[in-house]
Amino acid sequence: MAQPTWSARRVTAALVVMVVVVVVLAVAGGSWAQLSPSFYSFSCPGVFNAVKRGMQSAIAREKRIGASIVRLFFHDCFVQGCDASLLLDDTASFTGEKTANPNNGSVRGFEVIDAIKSAVETICPGVVSCADILAIAARDSVAILGGPSWDVKVGRRDSRTASLSGANNNIPPPTSGLANLTSLFAAQGLSQKDMVALSGSHTIGQARCTNFRAHIYNETNIDSGFAMRRQSGCPRNSGSGDNNLAPLDLQTPTVFENNYYKNLVVKKGLLHSDQELFNGGATDALVQSYISSQSTFFADFVTGMIKMGDITPLTGSNGEIRKNCRRIN
């Protein structure tokens, strides 16, 4: 058989180049992109250490900040997915999520994320998204406070948009009943079990009087001694003491374990929504199982955190890698 002619070779070479270009575009375009723990193995191998150091020093200064960072991750992921939309500041021409009802006067920890972001920018500029930094920081917070650890999948990119209405509509208010809690999690692809396990985050952190006032004054599914104790730090009439704090877990609010569930079975849940998880309904048995087995709680919590971290990420060439987590580039 004759050797291929030069023109046949050129055609073959051109075809190979075209196939390569198409594959590269498809991967970069995000159609095949997936989150993976090794996403930064070559581009920024130091990112995990940098985030951990940042969380260790922040928690050494104030233990509650670990809880605040875990909550930031939840409130980010429930609005357009885990895309750091929550981190964007409002400007004259841009309305973000920070003034939404569940966030206004309540979310905290942005300075910690800023500090970690600048540390990460020093070692690998322009590579790591704010969305991934928040996901890793939430994992580290849980682990540092005594909870489980897990491999965090990364490769998310940052949004160029935010949604105030999404924050108001998707994040459950503390007045929610079990059915509403379940349906708001289902809307994000999370099961009722994920919801109960992730609510175990309330084994750390604090809540403001305005969010538990009705539960401690007006409801009956609460231990009366506990209600009285909380009333002493939370005046009955709204307007006064709205921002007074109480621990979500009355026993150990800076340790991540299963005490949250132990409180629920003795009717010492601080929020109405907390007590809904143990109030004669479908989730009572799960609460009991997390009391009998902390390792079951930890395993289900990790499953829930990984699922929550997978909510509609921006990948490939979608979104951007923000230089500053508070504004789009």
Question: Binding residue per annotation — 79?
Answer: yes
DSSP count for the chain of H helices, then E strands:
14, 2
Alpha-carbon distance of 27 to 31, in angstroms, equals 6
181 touches which of ligand NAG, ligand HEM, none (CB within 5 to 8 A by kind)? Answer: ligand HEM
Question: Binding residue per annotation — 272?
Answer: no
At closest approach, how far in Å is the CB of 109 from ligand NAG? 17
Classify residue 173 as exposed, middle or buried by CB count within 10 Å of its CB (0-12, 13-18, 19+): middle
Alpha-carbon distance of 264 to 136, in angstroms, equals 29
225 contributes a contact to ligand NAG by CB under 6 A: no
Q: Of 91, 60, 55, 61, whose CA–CA distance to 73 is shortest?
A: 55
Question: Binding residue per annotation — 172?
Answer: yes
Work out which of 80, 85, 201, 263 binds ligand HEM, going by CB under 6 A.
Answer: 201
DSSP bridge partners of 94 = 91
Question: Binding residue per annotation — 249?
Answer: yes
137 contributes a contact to ligand HEM by CB under 6 A: no
269 contributes a contact to ligand HEM by CB under 6 A: no
Residue whose CB is less far from ligand HEM, 96 or 172: 172
Q: Which two three-digit tokens encode residue 18?
A: 């075209």
Question: Binding residue per annotation — 85?
Answer: yes
**Please, what sign has the CA dihedral across residues 248, 252, 258, 259?**
negative
In the annotation, is 215 catalytic? no
287 contributes a contact to ligand HEM by CB under 6 A: no
80 contributes a contact to ligand HEM by CB under 6 A: no
> Which runs of consecutive H residues, i.e. helices, occur in 29-109?
47-61, 64-77
184 contributes a contact to ligand NAG by CB under 6 A: yes
Work out which of 198, 216, 234, 264 binds ligand HEM, going by CB under 6 A.
Answer: 198
Amino acid sitting at position 196: V
Work out which of 95, 106, 294, 324 binds ligand HEM, going by CB under 6 A.
Answer: 106
Asked if 100 and 182 count as a contact pair (C-beta separation under 8 A), the reply is no
Alpha-carbon distance of 171 to 74, in angstroms, equals 9
- What contacts 75, CB < 8 A, 6 or more positions away? 86, 97, 102, 103, 107, 167, 171
Annotated binding residues for Ca(2+), written as ranges, equal 76, 79, 81, 83, 85, 97, 203, 249, 252
Annotated binding residues for substrate, written as ranges, equal 172
Contact residues: ligand NAG, CB under 6 A: 99, 104-105, 179-180, 183-184, 213-214, 217-218, 236
Annotated binding residues for heme b, written as ranges, equal 202
Provide the annotated active-site residues.
75
Contact residues: ligand HEM, CB under 6 A: 64, 67-68, 70-71, 74, 106, 108, 172, 174, 176, 181, 195, 198-199, 201-202, 204-208, 211, 248, 271, 273
